[in-house]
Amino acid sequence: MTEPRSPKPRSPKPRSPLPGIIKAAAAAWLAAAVLVAVAGGSFIVSARTQHRDGAALTGLGLVVLAVAFVIGFYVFRLRAGKRSARETLTTVGLIVGVPLLFRGPALIAVGALLLLCVVLLWLPQSSRFFQERDPRARRRFLGRR
Predicted confidence (pLDDT) per residue in 101-133, tens digit: 998 887 898 899 999 999 999 999 998 888 888
Residue % of the chain over a pLDDT of 90: 54
Nearest one of 110, 109, 111 to 99, comparing CA atoms: 111
48 pLDDT more than 80: yes
Give the number of other Cβ atoms within 10 Å of residue 126's Cβ: 19
The CA-based angle 63-41-29, given to 5 degrees, is 70
The mean pLDDT value for 70-91 works out to 94
d(CA 133, CA 90) in angstroms, rounded, equals 18
Kindly report the pTM of this predicted structure.
Answer: 0.78
